[in-house]
Amino acid sequence: MEKNLDTLWHSILSEMETQLSRANFATWLKNSRLADEKEGTLFVVLPNNFAKEWVENKYQKNLLGAARNFDDSVKKLEFLVSGQKLDLAPRKVSATDFNKFENKINLEFQTDPETNLNPRYTLNSFVVGSSNELAFSAASAIVQNVGSKYNPFFVYGGVGLGKTHLIQAIGNEIKAHYRGKIKSKYVSSEKFTSDVVWAIRNRRMEDIKKKYRDVDVLIIDDIQFIGGKEKTEEEFFHTFNTLYENNKQIIISSDRPPQSIPTLEERLRSRFEGGLIADIVYPEYEMRTAIIKGKLQESNRELGDAAIDLIARKVKKNVRELEGILNKILFHQEMRGAPVTEKVVEEIIEKAAQNFTRRVNDSQIIKSVAEFYNVSVGDLEGHVRKKEIVEPRQIAMYLLRDMLDMSYPYIGEKLGKDHTTAIHAVKKIDQEIERNSLLNQKIISIKELIFRA
Ligand code: ADP
Ligand code: MG
């Protein structure tokens, strides 16, 4: 659509001039201009934040009405402050943009390949409250008395409550405190399992023994995943014994206490119970506030007190979720170039809560795609080859994969195609979203339908 932006804006303003008092018009709109037009969105630039807030709140409707008088393809307006770069405007913000933002925040920290520890996890940055006090003091004591005080140390608690942070922090502190003379190694139990499986298959059990028994501090995360895998448990048990007999420190985390891991061998369980077991529970309000403030400081960013309070009041059960929401809010703020309003904070929290609690299923997804494209569910699920079914079907496949992580054969079967078609469709949509903001917008709208269903 080739159009002269200045002419369009001039027409809109002359219309506005008839609606507003002369003083208001001069104060708020005179120094505005139109920076761009994209897919029905007009990007309006105002001289400062104050004018932007004002116009956005008071005159948005009138402006949109006026704009549509001249061009009925206009769907909405976005307001920017002059000097703000256009490519930072809240156009179509994709998941990829957000991921880049989050990566930027975490980028300074890189996992040490020798120890597998991420230096971002320290005892210093671990906020302590009644929910994790015992676990924290045990951790601090272990740093001073490696292998002798609390051995093994078993920490358990729900998802996102800081287990990984705490046990990695012990490794990092030990490394700093003893200047690398005491060797730590961190491993997830999945990695441990896959190492053992690899070693068995390749007859390299000696490598594994050396790798894990040649350390002073072995940190194993999420041990509940080892339970039930016989060969892995066996190897872990031997590793455990060897280390333990040599007064090496063993640190273990789990999502539940040892007696609640049903498949865990009895002898391993009693070993764990011979050391110190500490749990971590949900953080209280003060702690949630402190965690938010800590994260802000860490990433060198700012957020208003009201927003901090709102997040701390509403996000209660998972520190990881708390961080995720905080990052989304900071992202929003940076895109806008202005402090967030409470309303936006509330919206972001609400959306996240919906994603967390509402359970989405496959028929909901297919139904919503059909609704969005105004086609029938039967057509989507059947073998029809109509042209108008191609895009909806590909998007349904993409969403089944993206939201539910379903297998390709299942997706194919569900939508009347084979698994290679499903793979192709998912890949295609995945790539196209990056370039095609209209498609991205469609997917966002369909997701809204899904969550509303
Ligand atoms: P878990 O391993 O229990 O699932 P994590 O250790 O991965 O949880 O914690 C999730 C996120 O929350 C991490 O980014 C971690 O830094 C942060 N976090 C959790 N508890 C705290 C705390 N007490 N102080 C600071 N950050 C915390
Ligand atoms: Mg963890």
What are the structural domains, with CATH classification, of the chain?
5-85+93-109 (3.30.300.180), 133-280 (3.40.50.300), 285-358 (1.10.8.60), 362-452 (1.10.1750.10)
In angstroms, the Cα distances linking 228 to 21, 163, 231, 446 are 76, 22, 9, 41
Q: How far is ligand 2, taken at its centre, from the CA of residue 116, in Å? A: 14
Which residue, by CA, sits nearest to atom 16 of ligand 1?
Answer: 165
Distance CA 331, CA 71 (A): 32
The arithmetic mean of pLDDT across residues 8-20, rounded, is: 84
Mutate which of 320, 322, 327 to test ligand 1's pocket (most atoms within 8 Å of Cβ)? 320
Closest residue by Cα to atom 27, ligand 1, is 162
Q: Say how many Å lie between the CA of residue 171 and the centre of ligand 1.
A: 15
pLDDT at 164: 96
DSSP E strands, 69-131: 76-81
Of the candidate ranges 163-172, 210-219, 261-270, 364-373, the one whose mean pLDDT is the lowest:
261-270
Residues 241, 261: Cα–Cα separation, whole Å: 20
Count of Cβ atoms closer than 10 Å to residue 253 Cβ: 25
Q: Does residue 255 have a pLDDT over 80?
A: yes
Query: Residue with the nearest Cα to atom 5 of ligand 1?
Result: 162
Asked if 381 and 415 touch (Cβ cutoff 8 Å), the reply is yes
Q: Which of 131, 220, 225, 319 to mutate to test the pocket of ligand 1 (most atoms within 8 A of CB)?
A: 319
- Cα of 68 vs centre of ligand 2, distance in Å, is 52
Q: Where does the pLDDT of residue 105 fall: very low under 50, low under 70, confident under 90, or very high at 90 and above?
A: low
Q: What is the number of the ligand closest to the CA of 166? A: 1
Ligand 2 centroid – CA 160 distance (Å)? 7
Inform me whether the pLDDT recorded for 410 exceeds 50. yes
Nearest residue (CA) to ligand 1, atom 25: 126
> Mean pLDDT over residues 10-35, rounded?
82
Q: Which ligand is nearest to the CA of 279?
A: 1
Looking at the predicted structure, is the pLDDT value of residue 357 above 60? no
pLDDT reading at 86 higher than 50: no
Over residues 254-279, mean pLDDT: 86
Q: Classify the C-alpha dihedral 439-444-449-453 as positive or negative.
A: positive
- What's the mean pLDDT in 251-277? 86
Lowest-pLDDT choice from 84-98, 212-226, 364-378: 84-98
- Say which residues have a Cβ less than 8 Å from residue 146's Cβ, sequence separation at least 6: 174, 178, 182, 216, 217, 249
Which residues sit with their C-beta closer than 6 Å to ligand 1?
125-127, 132, 157, 159-165, 291, 294, 319-320, 323
Residue nearest to atom 26 of ligand 1 (CA): 126
β 249-254/41-46 pair status: unpaired
Query: Which of 19-23, 119-123, 221-225 has the weakest average pLDDT?
Result: 19-23
Residue whose Cα lies nearest atom 11 of ligand 1: it is 320
Asked if residue 389 has pLDDT above 50, the reply is: yes
Say which range, 10-24, 137-151, 171-185, 270-284, has the weakest mean pLDDT: 10-24
Residues 79, 52 contacting (CB under 8 angstroms): yes
CB 282 within 8 A of CB 316: yes
Å from CA of 167 to ligand 2 middle: 9
Of ligand 1's listed atoms, the one at least distance from the Cα of 158 is 3
Distance 360 CA to ligand 2 centre (A): 25
pLDDT of residue 87: 40
166 φ/ψ sector (left φ>0, alpha ψ -120 to 50, else beta): alpha
- Closest ligand to C-alpha of residue 160 is 1
Q: Tell me the CA–centroid distance for residue 84 and ligand 1, in Å.
A: 34
Task: State the closest ligand 1 atom to the C-alpha of 168, by its place in the atom list counted from 1.
Answer: 6
CB atoms within 10 A of CB 71: 15
Q: pLDDT-based confidence at 64, cuts 50/70/90?
A: very high
Which residue shows structure tokens 């007859």?
203
State residue 182's pLDDT score.
95
What mean pLDDT is predicted for residues 289-311?
92
Distance 157 CA to ligand 2 centre (A): 10
Q: Is the pLDDT of residue 88 over 70?
A: no
| Pairing outcome for strands 153-157 and 76-81 | unpaired
Q: pLDDT at residue 16 above 60?
A: yes
pLDDT tier for residue 140 given thresholds of 50, 70 and 90: very high
Q: How far is the CA of 164 from the centre of ligand 1 (A)?
A: 7
Q: Compute CA 256 distance to the chain's CA centroid, rounded to the nearest angstrom.
A: 24
Output 246 or 69, whichever has higher pLDDT: 246
Whether 221 contacts 189, CB under 8 Å: yes
At 167, the pLDDT band (50, 70, 90 cuts) reads very high
Which residue lies with its CA nearest to atom 19 of ligand 1?
162
pLDDT band for position 89 (cuts 50, 70, 90) = very low
Residue 316 has pLDDT above 50, yes or no: yes
> What pLDDT shows up at residue 163?
96
Given a contact cutoff of 8 angstroms between Cβ atoms, the answer to whether 202 and 237 are in contact is no
